[in-house]
Amino acid sequence: MIDIMLSTFVQLLTSGYAMWMLMLGTCIGIFFGAVPGLGGRLAIAVTIPFVFGQPVIAGAVFLLSMHAVTGTAGQISSILFGVPGTGDDAATIVDGYPMAKKGEAGVALGASLMASGIGGIIGAVVLAVLIPVIEPIVLKFSPAEFFFLALLGITFVAFVSGSAIFKGLVVGLYGMMLAFVGMDPQTGIARYSDEFLFLWDGMDLITAVLALFAVPEMIHLGVKGGSISAVSKEMAQTGVRAQLKGCAITFRHWWLVLRCSAIGAFIGILPGLGGSAAAWICYGHAVQSSKNPETFGKGDVRGVVAPESATNSKEGGSLLPTLFFGVPGSSGMAILLGAWLILGIQPGPMMLVQELDLVWILIWALVISNIAAVVILLFITRWVAMLTFLRGGILIPVVLIITVLGTLLAKGQWENLVLLGILSVVGYGLLKYDWPRPPFAIGIVLGKIAEESLHKAWALWRWDFFLRPLSLILISLIVITIAYAVYRGFIDNRKRSQPNVSI
């Protein structure tokens, strides 16, 4: 295994054409990730015709590197404008955009880039380590475990709501309610969608997130006046030094990065959960495990580091079922799988025997493309961060146009613009009256997963799915999480009720 690992690394580095395709894929992936609404799925779909006739290694490396770095670039617009590049980047907005408001855009970008790079590398390491033992791990997880994993993520609503737990639960349930819009997975009957065909596929996540975060922030900026950054350009931290500071802060929270990267890779291994679930679950974990959770949502760098680590590490994890079972780990991997089949790659258990060299080349491509993306973006974002000082009158129309384009590009349905307008009113109301918005995204992301998994688990085992060994472990974690949230809320309330006594 070590001989193959080293020989494939040398093979990739010494292959001029393969390295050229890797760097080209990385640059294209950065572009598709940075533009809201595009993302890795569209990048692969658009470039599939260009891989016809390409050598297998060069074509596979090109597609994987392009898909892997879209998450690394997606946080740029999330942090600077509150506009997520893809649905996976929505969790970064919660603390990234407040950091930009405080003039710390450079620090947030540096931390997010470094966390993304480290997460991508750890995801590749997890892929390499689990190659010999992947089959029994994946087969242990069934719809029952998926259901309880989704419930565990939903319980984090209590943590990301701060002191307003009741408000957070209401907003989270509202998000879950919208997750049920569309075709019933059990009966195939349309629910809450009337005759609107565009809703039969469910509520578009990107449209919902843009409406809840991007548009309300631009309305608020227009009402407030000035620029996104509340501090002067001279006082702000946007240059190279600020980005390096953000990189250093990431290493200061190395244990959080490792934990969230491992969680993200694990979620990536399980087909059907996806990057959005990984990002929100890890954000909730960061809040839950923090000694001062009240700082989250107000510009805490840990709220940037945690989801970014998870978003990139899940790519390495999702490669495992995609390569060795032919079961895509995510929707992006499903398109990537189709493109690899065009190149002549046949995913399945025999990859471990007949194509192990190719597997290791893909692992190395994952590592190198993540490092290259971080280096490239560190040079670019120092100037992009200056956009936070533009006057609202110039910036707001541009951001709203990007938001509208992102909504149209996500599904190609003009009806989503109407949905964007309706939900934006709700989003601005939540912002104006200080109701937490992150629980909404958690509800809409995990609600659908929970419902589909519950139907499958009930059909397979009825009530017995509660008694499966892994189910019992996850139920225990859910109970502990809720109990801890209640206990911490009780302690916080008692501290607030105690009068301050000065001596």
Span 370-397, mean pLDDT? 75
Span 153-175, mean pLDDT? 73
pTM of the model: 0.72
- Selection from 424, 447, 414 nearest residue 82 by Cα: 424
- Is the predicted pLDDT of residue 230 greater than 60, yes or no? no
Looking at every residue in the chain, the average pLDDT score rounds to 77
- Is the predicted pLDDT of residue 409 greater than 50, yes or no? yes
Q: What is the pLDDT of residues 61-91, one digit of tens each?
A: 888 888 888 777 777 777 877 777 666 677 7
- Is the predicted pLDDT of residue 501 greater than 60, yes or no? no
Angle at 243 between CA 237 and CA 245, to 5 degrees: 85
Span 20-45, mean pLDDT? 77
Distance CA 87, CA 212 (A): 12
Span 166-189, mean pLDDT? 80
The rounded percent of the chain whose pLDDT value lies above 70 is 80
- Is the predicted pLDDT of residue 173 greater than 80, yes or no? yes
What residues does each domain of the chain span? Answer: 2-490
pLDDT band of 502, cuts 50, 70, 90: very low
pLDDT at position 139 is 63
- Is the predicted pLDDT of residue 381 greater than 70, yes or no? yes
Q: What is the pLDDT of residues 286-343, one digit of tens each?
A: 887 887 777 887 888 888 888 888 888 887 777 777 777 666 666 667 677 777 777 7
The rounded percent of the chain whose pLDDT value lies above 90 is 0
| HSE-up (13 A, CA, CB side) for residue 232 | 2
Q: What is the DSSP string of 459-475?
A: HHHGGGGGGSHHHHHHH
Residue with more model confidence, 436 or 36: 436
CA 182 to chain centre: 23
- Is the predicted pLDDT of residue 503 greater than 50, yes or no? no
Q: What is the pLDDT of residues 95-141, one digit of tens each?
A: 888 888 887 878 888 888 888 888 888 888 877 777 766 656 666 66
